[in-house]
Amino acid sequence: MASGGPTPTKLYTRTGDLGETGLVGGSRVGKDSARIGAFGSLDELGACLGRAGAALGDGHPEVAELIVRLQHELFIAQSELATPPGVESSAPRIAERHVRRLEDDIDRFSGTFEPVHTFVLPRGKIAGSELHVARTVARRAERDLWALHRTQPQRSELLRWTNRMSDLLFAVALSVNRADGVREIPPDYSK
């Protein structure tokens, strides 16, 4: 029976059925390797940012635009992680300009509220809360990247960019919360 449309692309390849996945250049590594762990945390962060963006609705267009840019940058970082040491690739990499841009973003968003000198409860309306969740996933991605770095050194730009990401998401979460009328609550250690 012939169909008139294009042949659909299958979403499965079966190549990972034995617990390995392919990297740029054709080598294979375990799905539980440190490299794939770091890659997966960055992937999860992108999905968390998507949820945060959806929670923004039509409000906070500057934040919505930033989220999309960060999702694009996460794909650059994942592309870099998918390329093992010694493999030549023309894929883009996280560069110094990406680190500087995050620092500029941190300064811009943190300038919308008074300096914070204590920890704060990760809360707020839905958008602010989702940004706090994304911040914690960014911290995990950073830890995973450092675990990989201990055995397979990573470029300093990628390490610094990942560190700045969670700082930026903290600043953006507080900025969104403030704009939505939510004030920070410091932890009460007497409870």
Asked if residue 21 belongs to a domain, the reply is: no
Asked if residue 56 belongs to a domain, the reply is: yes
- Both tokens of residue 38? 């770091």
Nearest to 48 by CA among 121, 147, 134, 142: 134
Q: Which residue segment(s) compose the domain that 169 sits in? A: 30-112+122-179
Spatial separation of the C-alpha atoms in residues 60 and 66, rounded to whole Å: 10
Asked if residue 104 belongs to a domain, the reply is: yes
Q: What CATH number is attached to the domain comprising 155?
A: 1.20.1200.10
Asked if residue 186 belongs to a domain, the reply is: no
Tokens 């995050």, located at residue: 102
Asked if residue 14 belongs to a domain, the reply is: no
Residues 64-101 pLDDT 10s: 999 999 999 999 999 999 988 878 888 899 999 999 99
Instruction: Determine the average pLDDT of the residues in 163-185.
Output: 96
Asked if residue 68 belongs to a domain, the reply is: yes
Whether residue 159 contacts residue 96, with contact meaning beta carbons closer than 8 Å, is answered with no
Spatial separation of the C-alpha atoms in residues 126 and 68, rounded to whole Å: 18
Asked if residue 4 belongs to a domain, the reply is: no
CA 107, 109, 113, 116 dihedral sign is: negative
Residue 42 sits at the vertex; the CA angle it makes with 64 and 101, to the nearest 5 degrees, is 50
Residues 4-33 pLDDT 10s: 678 788 887 776 777 777 777 777 877 888
pTM for this entry: 0.90
How do 28-30 and 20-22 pair as beta strands? antiparallel
Instruction: Determine the average pLDDT of the residues in 28-56.
Output: 93
Predicted confidence (pLDDT) at residue 56 exceeds the cutoff of 60:
yes
Asked if residue 127 belongs to a domain, the reply is: yes
Report the number of distinct structural domains present in the chain: 1
